[in-house]
Amino acid sequence: MQRRYSLVHLTLCGVVGLGLMLLMPDVEAQARIIFSSDRVWDDFEWEIFVMDTDGGNLQNLTNSPGDDQYPSWSPDGKQIVFTADRSGKDWNRQIYVMDADGADQRNLSDNDFEDSDPAWSPDGKRIAFVSHREGGSKIFVMDADGGNPKNLSNNRAPDYAPSWSPDGKRIAFYSWTNGNNEIYVMDADGSNPKNLTNHRAWDSSPSWSPDGKRIAFDSWRDGNGEIYVMDADGGNPRNLTNHQFKDWEPSWSPNGKQIVFVSDREVDGNPEIFVMNDDGSNPRNLTNHPEDDTAPAWFGNAFSVAPAGKKLTIWGQLKQVDR
């Protein structure tokens, strides 16, 4: 029997489809990777760069005396928070923010102590960071405008590199405890800290997967810096890279299917940005420059699956309402 569709239903589907098209522009065009590089200056000063997910369309976002490093996207992709050494004082790095095109750079933390390693919360309202303002390296959180800083970790061991869970309820970090770095997790208010790795080797740089089920990190447990992944409770750790050269600083793609990281495996031996599938397969070099590239962070819609320049097509089906 020939299928029939009501005019009202077809019209409604058309309106909904048009609305989705307007709300969802070419998501792949929005997918970008920010990172730190010292390729601009001759005296090892770092700047923030951004590129497409295939390494193309490279842009220099900062260009100032002093180091600009460790960038983190706002959830909407409109701003970037980063660490900057611009005061001219020793040990006085601060947390800065700028628009995604590099405009309107301003100091958020603005104090006389060392602040670094910012990470934007999934709801866009808070920024976790590392601060020395109460002695030693501690995980702090502040409002996105720099207000209301609060010490979360508040223990005797130095803590570094906060990473928010996708639901914003927990923060992973690494801590120098008993002469060794380990991955920890705590609630977003600083309560209930828990050791996830508990291994004699150095484990650091945790990065939460978009589905909240896994944490990628770098580890020296095989005698060399490698990218590992484990379940969010610390179980089932497994080596993804297993390469003779060092791999470190993993960061997930928004769809959880890829991981961008740093490696010195190229012939010149300097750090470059690489990407691989989330099982460790198909590693490929995104940057290829004689200077160092580090600290990558990925922004994009969760539907982004192809290298930049390719289009994502979303297909829908009309529900049969009449036969």
Per-residue pLDDT reduced to its tens digit, 248-300: 999 999 999 999 999 999 877 889 999 999 999 999 999 989 899 999 999 97
pLDDT at 276: 98
Q: Could you write out the DSSP letters of every residue in 144-173?
A: TTS-S-EES--SSS-EEEEEE-TTSSEEEE
pLDDT attached to residue 135: 86
Q: How far apart are CA 126 and CA 112, in angstroms?
A: 21
- Residue length of the chain: 323
260 in Cβ contact with 250 (< 8 Å): yes
Q: Check whether 31 has a pLDDT greater than 70.
A: yes
The larger pLDDT score, comparing residue 197 to residue 8, is at: 197
Least confident of 40-54, 135-149, 225-239, 299-313: 299-313
Distances (CA, A) of 160 to 5, 93, 167: 59, 15, 21
**Continuous segment of H or E residues that includes residue 29:** helix 27-30
List, for residues 116-174, the tens digit of each pLDDT value.
Answer: 999 999 999 999 999 999 988 999 999 999 999 999 998 889 999 999 999 999 999 99
Q: Number of C-alpha atoms within 13 angstroms, CB side, residue 246?
A: 13
Helices (H), strands (E): how many in the chain? 2, 24
pLDDT, one tens digit per residue, over 9-19 is 434 444 444 44
Residue 203 DSSP symbol: E
216, burial (CB in 10 Å: exposed 0-12, middle 13-18, buried 19+)? buried
Show the tokens assigned to 267. 């012939």
**Distance from C-alpha of 85 to C-alpha of 252, rounded to nearest angstrom:** 27
Flag whether pLDDT at 303 surpasses 60.
no
Q: Which amino acid is at 68?
A: D
Please give the residue that has the higher pLDDT: either 87 or 304: 87
Distance CA 249, CA 273 (A): 10
Kindly report, residue by residue over 96-111, the tens digit of the pLDDT. Answer: 999 999 999 999 999 9
pLDDT category at 223 given cuts 50, 70, 90 is: confident
User: What's the average model confidence in pLDDT over 25-50?
Assistant: 78
Tell me the pLDDT band of 46, cut-offs 50, 70 and 90: very high
Work out the average pLDDT over 43-72: 93
Mean pLDDT score of the chain, rounded to an integer?
A: 85
pLDDT for 310: 32
Per DSSP, the three-state class of 21 is helix
Residues 6+ apart with CB under 8 A from 19: none
Kindly state the average pLDDT of the residues 73-101: 94
User: What domains can you pick out in the chain, each with its CATH number?
Assistant: 34-299 (2.120.10.30)
pLDDT over 90 at 301, yes or no? no
